[in-house]
Copies of this chain bind each other. A is one copy, B any other.
Amino acid sequence: MINFTPGPSQLYFTVEPHVRQAFREGVPSVSHRSKEFEAISKSTTEGLRELLGISKDFHIFFVGSATEVWERAIQNLVHERSLHFVNGAFSKRFHEIATQLGKTAAKVEAPLGQVFESNYKVDSTFELIALTHNETSTGTMLSMDFINQFRKQFPDSLIVVDAVSSLPYPQFDFSKIDSIFFSVQKGFGLPAGLGVWIVNDRCIAKAESLLSKGISIGTYHNLPTLLSNAKKNQTPETPNVLSIYLLGKVVEDFLRRGISIIRKETEYKAAIFYQAIHSHTLAQPFVKDPKSRSQTVLVAETGAHTELIKKELESRGLYPGDGYGDQKKTQLRFANFPTHSKETFERLVDLLEKVN
């Protein structure tokens, strides 16, 4: 059985043996103040740094979830004003969290299934610009050109990119952004329960500046506290040690396979999928503009044929994800993560063509 839901995803195939090894090594009961934990934490962050090409002025922190990062980012990086690019349920939630925390949160919106026009107008400056690289709900993906333009236009803003359902695929230019974050149960194919928050020194400075003005930036998971612990390869609280270990091991596996191969395979799998539904009689790509289509969460508009296609695929052991929210009965979503092999996608495409 192959699970294509975009999260929690099908596990990466090495996870179960890594869990067995972790138990043999006593990892699940390692103290988070021990040398053993520091070595695990260091190995995972160094692996991530290599895999994602994270530059030296960025720090890597372990938190509970990507949802937590939405809250912590607003709390630590915004006093008054943030700007959010909203084109689906998850970018919308990031915006809502800023509002809930009492910030003046502006937004630029695009219709579901579309990205943003380049002539959007905003009439102020913002402390934080929130971009959702991959909108898991609709299968759109922002281009790197779009993300990279903000630095020049808003040199004083912190550019924060939600990369939850796209990493490790995208290659970010770390000179053009200030923070990215993800959770481990998507592209990394791990059990849920860990978020990874990557920030540069500008983010640390902003949090310290808010703190010095007496503005609350939270407690154990504020940026200065995360940083002082991370410098010792520790965490403020007892973290999900097992998950930090497993992430490190899967990152090692990805490095061994080669990130450029993972990227090329991702694009190949997306290409044959979109090709197959482009010429399909019962399905079509939900995202019309090929340049806006996600490479990692592929969404098919299947309308009245959704149930038929779903049943046919499931009868062959391939489980698509439902459409998100209102699209539950008219769309199908297919995660295209490193755990999904080329052969799996070739089989998916064959089956889709047979339902044609």
Decide: B239 and A97 in contact? CB cutoff 8 A. no
A60-75 contacts to B (CB < 8 Å): 63-68, 70-71
Q: B28 touching A238 by the CB < 8 A rule?
A: no
Q: Tell me if A143 is interfacial: C-beta within 8 Å of chain B.
A: no
Q: Which of B70, B214, B239 contacts A219 (CB 8 A)?
A: B70
Select the stretch in A8-16, A47-55, A112-120 that faces chain B. Answer: A8-16
Shortest A157–chain B CB gap in Å is 22
With an 8 Å Cβ cutoff, the count of chain A residues facing the other chain is 50
A21 within 8 A of B: no
A234 close to B (CB within 8 Å): no
Least distance between A246 CB and chain B CB atoms (Å) = 10
Q: How many copies does the complex hold?
A: 2
Segment touching B, from A148-156, A185-193, A307-315: A185-193
Chain B residue nearest to A183 (CB atoms) is: B238
Known: A71-B220, A101-B216, A220-B71. A241 touches B5 (CB 8 A): no
A10→B29 contact, CB < 8 A: yes
Per-position 1/0 for A237-249, Cβ under 8 A of B = 1111111000000
Interface of A is mostly: loop
Smallest beta-carbon distance A28→chain B, Å: 4
Q: Report if A293 contacts B (CB, 8 A).
A: no
Q: Which residues of A contact B (CB under 8 A)?
A: 3, 5, 7-11, 15-16, 19, 23, 28-32, 63-68, 70-71, 96-97, 100-102, 183, 185, 190-194, 214, 216, 218-221, 236-243
